[in-house]
Structure 1
């Protein structure tokens, strides 16, 4: 019997449009799965832990970029020109990630993981957190 557990985020699409989380990469035995990429309906998975986020304005701005600018069709193999990359970098930097050292919680801005920019897509954006690399996820628009 496998000790790994699989969790599919919002499998039936009924959790509402206002959620976002970061999946932080770590050896936990829990693998999160997420549909992403707009109508391209890609499937991503990452082993780690989930950190729920707040910030409706930031989420709305990310949805605007991917659903309107990119028309919800995904950005697989997209070459990110400087202006689009800067916009994504700024949007990700506005998202606050609350890290706790066991006694004190502090908000930290997320950073776009530009070494993995080729993986960036609607509802699946590689980021750097205070806890290490991860992926910013939210409800896919398809």
Structure 2
């Protein structure tokens, strides 16, 4: 039998905050924070050398940094490609997304579409390897190390090491 949380327990559950790599010394690879009412917020340093922090509520899903592309018959380093994109395009100073060129948004969308993400449904349905999609409805949120994406579980944020 499921027990309802008391008001005090609910208050405690709603107050959990996790700062991803607070010292900035332990890169964690790629992860997606799927937006959901979990009572847990994740805080992450982003925005290149401006080093702002952003917070979102949800659940964290580690994603592989490497993927194999059978069409090209080669491995793809998604994390390295994302880090290189932001370094090459913005040198640690990403402007607001409204100042990006259409080509820059398209390049980021292509990179994001190569990031593997496993869908693991409940029940007897098999897991399925899918890929993320840049969430074009939330382009205004994009910055280095904080990229809005669509996942099989709903909207999320792709996070990775900030360049600072």
Report the TM-score, using the length of structure 1 for normalisation: 0.92
- Which of 134, 137, 141 is the equivalent residue of 1:115? 137
Per the TM alignment, residue 55 of structure 1 is displaced from its structure 2 partner at its CA by 2.0
| 1:33 Cα offset (Å) | 0.3
Q: In the TM superposition, what whole-angstrom CA distance separates every residue of 1:65-123 from its partner, at most 9, and x where no partner exists? A: 11221101133354232211110110000001111013522111101011111111100
| 3-state secondary structure, aligned to 2:88 | helix
Contact 2:97 2:143 in 1 (8 A): no
Matched, 1:10 2:21: yes
Using the alignment, how far apart are the partners of 1:19 and 1:122 within structure 2? 14
Q: 2:117 aligns with which of 94, 97, 102?
A: 97
1:25 aligns with 2:47: no
SS at match of 2:99: coil
Unaligned 5+ runs, structure 1: none
The alignment partner of 2:109 has SS state of: helix
- Which SS does the other structure have where 1:91 is aligned? helix
Distance in 1 (alpha carbons) for counterparts of 2:94 and 2:22: 19
Residues 53-132 of structure 1: pairs in structure 2 closer than 5 A = 53-56=63-66, 57-102=77-122, 103=124, 104-132=126-154
Cα RMSD, aligned residues only: 1.5
Tell me whether 1:37 sits opposite 2:47 in the alignment: yes
Q: Does the residue aligned with 1:59 lie in a helix, a strand or coil?
A: helix
TM-score (norm 2): 0.81
